[in-house]
Amino acid sequence: MTFRQYYLLIPAMLLSAVVFSQEILTPAEKLNFEQVSSYTDLSAFIRQIDARSDLVSIEKTGSSVKGREINALLFSTSGFGRDAAKIRVLIFAQQHGNEQSGKEGALLLARELIKPENRYLFDRVDFALIPQVNPDGSEVNKRRNANDADLNRNHLILTEPETMALHDFFDRYRFEVTMDVHEYSPYGDNWVKAGFRKNSEVTLGTTTNLNVPEEIRMFSQNKALPFLFNFLGTRHFSCFTYCPGDPPGSGYIRHSTFDINDGRQSFGIQNTLSFIQEGMNGKDDYTDNLKKRAQGQMTGMRGLLEFVYLNKKEINKMISRERQLLMRGKANPVISVQSEHTGNGQVLKLPVYSYKTGKDSVVVSKDYRPMVSSLKDVVKPTGYLIPVKLYEILEWTGRQNFETHEYAPGRADVIQEYTILKTDSIDFEGDIVLNPFVETREYPADQLAGRYVCIPTAQMKGNLISLGLEPASMLGLVTYKRYRHLLKAGEIYPILRIK
Ligand SMILES: [Zn+2]
């Protein structure tokens, strides 16, 4: 190298040294992961990210019960949501305030994504990241929000400001891919009693509700998960399918719930490619091993973005086709309202840590139920009729942003009315829920008295609407205390169907 070439290099070396020294640290990194990021520090950090990169803007999605802002970081090179050719991805973390590693992983991810070497992702992807859905719970390291509600059981009834904000945000952009980030406990009582704890640093689950098109469920299971496991594995994180349940002898093992009241299925049921990520939580304290846990969460999220980038065309095609069918009322003619987890002869080899030997091991479960089967189907109607005096259901309709209109009876419309004959109960993932027996009467719409609001099922939330309103739905509104009074033995169910 000539003197002149060397001379020219000096400014470049100085510049890279400056850039390196100015790499932004997340609040937890600054505290050497001995503490988690506070709400105040998180807010300052995301503003720093926004100021540093032309990719990023911040959108306030809403506020918590105590008035803390819930913000989304939007990453886009073309104005978020404006380029229809791009695929919209939403990742949200920390619905449960005591699951801190999701938030910390999300902040690491935000910092990663503004590096020039990751910019290629946004040629194909518009990405929204909500690092913290439940700031009130986070500040006191509690699972629930300040109203003592479990947000991840609130996605159907949407009574909490945090879940309402999340769904309004989703409805605004109609994300094609979502991931809900949590932590799981490997220290379940029955597992510890049996001498083991679960042993995967990151676990992942897909949409399992039977009313989500099989193509989407199979694509998630057979294409996305293997990619993500490989992505995590090659970066030295142990990973596995998210498998709740008990050890052999005390219960069965299944995949995550098919209930639509959580962050994954509530979007999945709208024909979204939807995932749950559950990192391993800390043992004695929520900061236990926090750095590695946050990195694991970040790597899973980063893997999802890579997967979407590489498979953009296929995902776009599949999701837009299936959503079109839903919105035109041409999707599934029946809806499964009661289902159960079933086995298929497959034996599960679950990675565990053995307290007895002090080594990694495997538990073999023969009662493994990776499938979901329908117990009861009902024909999907073209719409539901809500009496205008049933305010609480109309309010729910508003919170869900359903398309509705005041009903004017069509000449050919046939009304279906349920009478609740009696109710008994049915097992739902170990819980007991109501199981009504109904009789259906049909009559022409011109015999209908009173005013009704119509909710057509030909919309993106069509399957969600049926699962919410059918009286025999084990996932429906009537399984919640506040709506249980709608089911009275010997009486007519007030919500009607248009055949
Ligand atoms: Zn959780």
Q: Residue 440 Cα, ligand 1 centroid: separation in angstroms?
A: 40
10 Å CB burial of residue 256 (0-12, 13-18, 19+) is buried
Q: Residue 182 Cα, ligand 1 centroid: separation in angstroms?
A: 4
Q: Residue 51 Cα, ligand 1 centroid: separation in angstroms?
A: 31
Domains contained in the chain, number: 2
Among residues 299, 334, 369, which one ends one of the domains?
A: 334
- Angle, CA 280 vertex, CA 277 and CA 281 arms, to 5°: 115
Q: Residue 53 Cα, ligand 1 centroid: separation in angstroms?
A: 31
Residues 180 and 308 both lie in one domain = yes
Residue with tokens 């991810």, as numbered in its chain: 109
- Residue 175 domain flag: yes
- In angstroms, the CA 97 to CA 38 distance is 12
- Residue 356 domain flag: no
Q: Residue 150 Cα, ligand 1 centroid: separation in angstroms?
A: 9
Residues 61 and 131 both lie in one domain = yes
Q: Residue 184 Cα, ligand 1 centroid: separation in angstroms?
A: 7
Residues 324 and 412 both lie in one domain = no
Residues 155 and 239 both lie in one domain = yes
The model's confidence at residue 22, banded by pLDDT at 50, 70 and 90, is: low
Q: Residue 204 Cα, ligand 1 centroid: separation in angstroms?
A: 13
Cα 214 from chain centroid (whole Å): 18
Query: Per-residue pLDDT tens for 409-453?
Result: 988 999 999 999 999 999 898 888 889 999 999 999 999 999 999
pLDDT at 282: 85
Tell me the residue range of the domain where 204 lies. Answer: 3-334
Residues 329 and 219 both lie in one domain = yes
Residues 323 and 388 both lie in one domain = no
Q: Residue 107 Cα, ligand 1 centroid: separation in angstroms?
A: 18
- The answer on pLDDT for 8 being more than 60 is no
pTM for this one?
0.94
Longest dimension (CA), the chain: 96
pLDDT at 1: 47
Share of the chain above pLDDT 70, in %: 96
Q: Residue 461 Cα, ligand 1 centroid: separation in angstroms?
A: 24
Instruction: Give me the amino acid identity at 493.
Output: Y
SS3 120: helix
pLDDT at 381: 98
Among residues 334, 361, 388, which one ends one of the domains?
A: 334
- Counting every residue written for the chain, the total comes to 499
Residues 430 and 287 both lie in one domain = no
Share of the chain above pLDDT 90, in %: 91
- In angstroms, the CA 86 to CA 385 distance is 37
Residues 325 and 460 both lie in one domain = no
Higher pLDDT, 6 or 474: 474
Q: Residue 165 Cα, ligand 1 centroid: separation in angstroms?
A: 18
Which pairing describes strands 125-130 and 87-93: parallel, antiparallel, or unpaired? Answer: parallel
Residues 138 and 285 both lie in one domain = yes
Would you report the helix, strand and coil content of the chain in percent, each value rounded to 5? 35, 25, 35
- Residue 347 domain flag: no
Instruction: Give me the amino acid identity at 51.
Output: A
pLDDT at 2: 47
- Residue 85 domain flag: yes
Q: Say which CATH number the domain at 167 has.
A: 3.40.630.10
Closest CA to 464 of 205, 221, 179, 268: 268
- Please say whether the beta carbons of 343 and 368 come within 8 A: yes
Instruction: Give me the amino acid identity at 155.
Output: H
Residues 426 and 484 both lie in one domain = yes
pLDDT at 173: 98
- Residue 345 domain flag: no
Q: Residue 163 Cα, ligand 1 centroid: separation in angstroms?
A: 14
Residues 210 and 271 both lie in one domain = yes
pLDDT at 445: 96
- Residue 321 domain flag: yes
- Residue 343 domain flag: no
Q: Residue 286 Cα, ligand 1 centroid: separation in angstroms?
A: 13
- The answer on pLDDT for 18 being more than 60 is no
- Residue 366 domain flag: no
The model's confidence at residue 283, banded by pLDDT at 50, 70 and 90, is: confident
Q: Residue 27 Cα, ligand 1 centroid: separation in angstroms?
A: 22
| CA dist list (Å): 308 to 88, 270, 272, 315 | 9, 18, 13, 7
Query: Per-residue pLDDT tens for 79-101?
Result: 999 999 999 999 999 999 999 99
Residues 115 and 58 both lie in one domain = yes
Query: Per-residue pLDDT tens for 303-362?
Result: 999 999 999 999 999 999 999 999 999 999 999 999 999 999 999 999 999 999 999 999
